[in-house]
């Protein structure tokens, strides 16, 4: 009997090759909560591969709020926001977010990925053109592919490249510029001042996905638009709860009319179940914490400066990172896997970012900081990286360079 499905995937060996070398570093099972020390595959390791930048996933107030919501509302809403899946918690979260971000209204989706799938195709039309930074997150690309509008890419954070695309655009409709607020692998910040200047010149709408910027940049973590004092100029602010806000789910914030339209037309919102009550409560509790107390975010920045300085001093190529996301460019897939594997063996969890996610010449280790790391943990992680980099021949920049 023919088995077309098995035949189709039988030859897929991208992952198998790495598994055979004993270097596979994906789907590693965690056996307990994620703090700065985690238990993975039965082994305790230092955690420098989390997106929980503020370390709130285990904060007692977040856990308590989540537990209370679970008891009060049950484990699931069993339906979409549109029908039976909206609780008063979802509505509170939306109004709190709108105020926090300085926008008229906000809408909560079940993931940040769905925010982009549910927003971009809904707000754009056939005659429009979407301008995307080459290094935008996959979900922005997927959302743009689902749109009837056309899209073009411009060089990463390069305003000359963006202007060249804008000025040669023949599409008769609306122009949309969509960028990550902080780039998820590179850790650099979108040039929103440059983008806003061009958006004004070419009458374009600006949308910024602040998944990695909320909780990190701007006043009390209000994100990249706030960081540059451009809240009014950035039309739509998107984001996720799966990073600093210690939950799962996502949001889009903007003017009342756009949010009202999305509520009634966004397919990813209407045809998918809503965030669970406990994850909604966890996001609300995290928002409470960051609004009231900026000291956690300040500690994150102390840790970031401390680590970045040392990594550069050793000669690691950290690209243009200015945030708690620090890429360590290895520029060779196998070497990146080997580095991650050796680090794990000696007690450090970091993530490899290799082809096809990036080109092999841009492969990197994604090293990310949390506010809850101690300087001692950072020292241990970095000295281990320096030792293993030398042993396996990771290229380091000379000090004079």
Residues 6+ away with beta carbon under 8 Å from 299:
371, 372
The closest of 382, 389, 377 to 367, measured between CA atoms, is 382
Should residue 113 be labelled a site residue for ligand PMP when binding is judged by CB under 6 A? yes
Residue nearest to ligand PMP (CB): 112
Q: Which of 84, 95, 209, 83 is CA-nearest to residue 144?
A: 209
Residues between 246 and 265 with contacts to ligand PMP, criterion CB under 6 A = 250
Pick from 50, 111, 279, 318 the residue near ligand PMP by CB under 6 A: 111
Residue 139 touching ligand PMP (CB under 6 A): yes
Catalytic hit among 52, 110, 147, 184: 184
Given the residues 103, 165, 175, 212, select the one marked as catalytic.
212
Residue closer to ligand PMP by CB (options 119, 377) is 119
Nearer residue to ligand PMP within complex by CB, 23 or 354: 354
Q: Is residue 110 near ligand PMP by the rule CB under 6 A?
A: no
Residue 132 beta carbon to ligand PMP: minimum distance, rounded to whole angstroms: 12
Which span sits near ligand PMP by CB under 6 A: 67-75, 110-118, 162-170, 265-273?
110-118
Q: Which stretch binds ligand PMP (CB under 6 A): 25-33, 89-97, 106-114, 337-345?
A: 106-114
184 is catalytic: yes
212 assigned to active site: yes
Sheet hosting strand 204-209, strand order edge to edge: 105-109, 250-254, 236-240, 204-209, 175-180, 129-133, 150-154
In this structure, how many other beta carbons lie within 10 angstroms of the beta carbon of residue 20?
10
**Residue of 90, 175, 243, 299 with catalytic role:** 243
Q: Which of 36, 147, 240, 368 touches ligand PMP by CB under 6 A? A: 240
209 binds ligand PMP, rule: CB under 6 A: yes
CB of 124 to ligand PMP, least distance (A): 17
Catalytic residues: 184, 212, 243
Footprint on this chain of ligand PMP (rule: CB under 6 A):
111-113, 137, 139, 180, 184, 209, 211-212, 240, 242, 250
């Amino acid at each position: 009997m023919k088995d077309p499905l098995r035949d189709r995937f039988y030859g897929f060996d991208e992952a198998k090759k790495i598994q055979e070398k004993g270097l596979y570093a994906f789907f590693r099972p965690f056996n307990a909560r994620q703090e700065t020390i985690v238990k993975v595959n039965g082994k305790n390791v230092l955690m420098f591969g989390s997106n929980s930048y503020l370390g709130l996933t285990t904060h007692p107030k977040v856990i308590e709020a989540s537990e209370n919501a679970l008891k009060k509302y049950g484990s699931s809403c069993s339906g979409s926001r549109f029908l039976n899946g909206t609780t008063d918690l979802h509505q509170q979260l939306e109004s709190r977010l709108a105020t926090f971000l300085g926008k008229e209204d906000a809408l909560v989706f079940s993931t940040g990925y769905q925010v982009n799938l549910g927003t971009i195709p809904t707000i754009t039309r056939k005659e429009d053109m979407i301008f995307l930074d080459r290094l935008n997150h996959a979900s922005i690309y997927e959302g743009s592919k689902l749109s009837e509008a056309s899209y073009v890419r411009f060089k990463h954070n390069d305003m000359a490249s963006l202007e060249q695309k804008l000025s040669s655009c023949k599409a008769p409709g609306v122009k949309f510029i969509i960028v990550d607020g902080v780039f998820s692998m590179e850790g650099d910040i979108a040039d929103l001042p440059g983008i806003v200047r061009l958006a004004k010149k070419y009458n374009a709408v600006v949308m910024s996905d602040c998944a990695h910027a909320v909780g990190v940049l701007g006043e009390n973590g209000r994100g990249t638009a706030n960081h540059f004092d451009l809240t009014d100029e950035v039309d739509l602010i998107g984001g996720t709860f799966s990073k600093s806000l210690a939950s799962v789910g996502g949001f889009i914030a903007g003017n009342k009319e756009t949010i009202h339209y999305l509520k009634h037309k966004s397919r990813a919102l209407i045809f998918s179940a809503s965030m669970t009550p406990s994850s909604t409560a966890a996001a609300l509790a995290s928002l409470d914490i960051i609004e009231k107390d900026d000291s956690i975010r300040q500690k994150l920045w102390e840790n970031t400066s401390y680590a970045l300085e040392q990594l550069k001093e050793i000669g690691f190529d950290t690209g243009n990172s200015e945030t708690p996301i620090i890429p360590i460019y290895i520029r060779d897939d196998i070497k990146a896997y080997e580095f991650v594997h050796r680090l794990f063996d000696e007690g450090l969890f970091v993530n490899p970012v290799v082809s096809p996610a990036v080109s092999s010449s841009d492969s990197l280790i994604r090293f990310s900081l949390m506010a809850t790391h101690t300087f001692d943990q950072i020292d241990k992680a970095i000295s281990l990286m320096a030792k293993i980099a030398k042993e396996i021949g990771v290229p380091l920049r000379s000090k004079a360079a």
